[in-house]
Copies of this chain bind each other. A is one copy, B any other.
Amino acid sequence: MSAHTTDISEYGKEIMNTLQPGLADQVISKLGELDDELPKLIVNYAFADVVGRPGLDIKTREMLTVASLITSGNAQPQLELHMRASLNVGVTEKELLEIVIQMAIYAGVPACMNAITAYRNAVTTFNKSNK
């Protein structure tokens, strides 16, 4: 059974919208312009079937994603998005900064410095949208 015969997962959309209100429709619409199946691959696979697995709560999962994106170091827009998502699901600013600092050890100081840039942007955007 392939993505071709499945619908967009409501569960996947729900997770995405928890991370950022409106994210699901935004991603589905943007990716749907390119290819019919692409939205399902992201919503159903990445979000419903992986991020949506039981066994770790969404707050922990977002922290892990932030650690991963700081380490890979070449996904600055996604890093900002997941930092904001972390704040949206209850990670505190202080906890987020701890991840950034810890990554100096494991991914190096330059990766940490790039993450500080993303952190400042994410916190600013988060605070603006929650005023």
Contact = CB atoms under 8 A, between A and B. Distances in A.
Given A55-B98, A68-B68, A103-B68, A111 B109 contact: no
Contacts of A122: none
A95 B3 CA distance: 19
A66 to B, nearest CB: 8
A104 B41 contact: yes
Interface in A47-87: 48-53, 55-56, 60-61, 63-65, 67-75, 77-78
Number of chain copies forming the complex: 6
Interface centre among A95, A109, A116 (most CB of B within 10 A): A109
Chain A interface residue number, banded: 35 or more
A34 B101 CA distance: 11
Given A2-B9, A67-B68, A50 B104 contact: yes
A45 B112 CA distance: 14
Nearest to A108: B108
Contacts of A65: 67, 102, 106
Contacts of A101: 35, 38, 41, 50, 53
Contact of A53 (B78, B98, B106): B98
B74 A74 contact: yes
A23 interface: no
